[in-house]
Amino acid sequence: MCNCDAKAKDNRFELLEQTLEKYRGSRGKLIPALQETQAIFGYLPAEALGMVGKVLKLPASEVYGVATFYGQFHLQPRGKNIVKVCTGTACHVRGGGKVLDEVLACLGLENGELTTADLQFTLDPVACIGACGMAPVMMVNNDVYGRLEPQDVSAILARYKNSEQEEGDQGCVA
Ligand code: FES
């Protein structure tokens, strides 16, 4: 039986090892090392953080401290599509809360989950997208959708759904 997941994982750790070699002992290069690590995995797995600390000769507390301080770093897997829903004042007064509720329902996210189990979507509530005149607003990856009604949400999200995964999912697009 093919243990393809484990194999793919091994390949990524091998690639990380090669990538980090240029940072060996460079304690001041933690941020670029973390950025390259995240580019390989899509997030920062604990095992990878351990390798970064070892190669750069930094204590785990410092590696974790930086990884958790900056918003650009993620310690949990992220979805292929990032859905930013604005929760700022202009959007809130124009029904942004209902749009957010609809996104949560469509993606089948419950109990504070932000990423769908199939890793297709990550919800990222944000304070302001900078398009307040179009409130309520959401973004999917780099695409901006404004003057939203909750009933618009499922059709928008469906455009980003991986067509290979149409069966056995939950929520209105997931
Ligand atoms: S408050 Fe929503 S885009 Fe500015």
The CATH number of the domain where 94 resides is what?
Answer: 3.40.30.10
Task: State whether 113 and 148 are in the same domain.
Answer: yes
Confidence of residue 111 (pLDDT cuts 50, 70, 90): confident
pLDDT at 161: 85
Pocket test for ligand 1, best of 99, 129, 134, 147 (most atoms within 8 A of CB): 129
Q: Which of 93, 132, 144, 147 to mutate to test the pocket of ligand 1 (most atoms within 8 A of CB)?
A: 132
**Residue 43: what pLDDT?**
93
Q: Alpha carbon of 111 to those of 26, 105, 108, 162: distances in Å? A: 41, 12, 10, 24
Backbone φ/ψ region at 57: left (φ over 0), alpha (ψ -120 to 50), beta: left
pLDDT one-digit tens code per residue, 21-43: 999 999 999 999 999 999 999 89
157-172 per-position pLDDT tens digit: 999 987 555 544 556 7
Ligand 1 centroid vs 109 CA: distance in angstroms? 23
Look at 155 and 1; give whichever has higher pLDDT.
155
In angstroms, the CA 123 to CA 140 distance is 9
Atom of ligand 1 nearest to the CA of 86: 2
Question: Is the distance from CB of 32 to CB of 63 less than 8 angstroms?
Answer: no
Burial group, residue 138, by CB count within 10 angstroms (0-12, 13-18, 19+): buried
The pLDDT of residue 8: 56
- Ligand 1: which atom is nearest the Cα of residue 87? 2
Read off the CATH number of the domain in which 64 is found: 1.10.10
**What's the token pair of residue 93?**
């007064």
Q: Reduced to 3 states, what is the DSSP secondary structure of residue 100?
A: helix
Handedness of CA 43, 48, 54, 56 (dihedral sign): negative
Q: Is residue 116 part of a domain?
A: yes
Distance 101 CA to ligand 1 centre (A): 17
The whole-model pTM stands at 0.76
Residue 58 and residue 23 share a domain: yes
Q: Would residue 32 count as lying in a domain?
A: yes
Q: Which residues line ligand 1 (CB under 6 A)?
A: 86, 88-91, 128-132, 135, 137
Q: What is the overall mean pLDDT for the chain?
A: 90
**In terms of domains, do 57 and 118 share one?**
no
pLDDT number for residue 168? 46
Split into its structural domains, the chain has a count of 2
Using alpha carbons, select from 9, 77, 13 the residue that is nearest to residue 51.
Answer: 13
**Structural domain containing residue 109:** 81-158
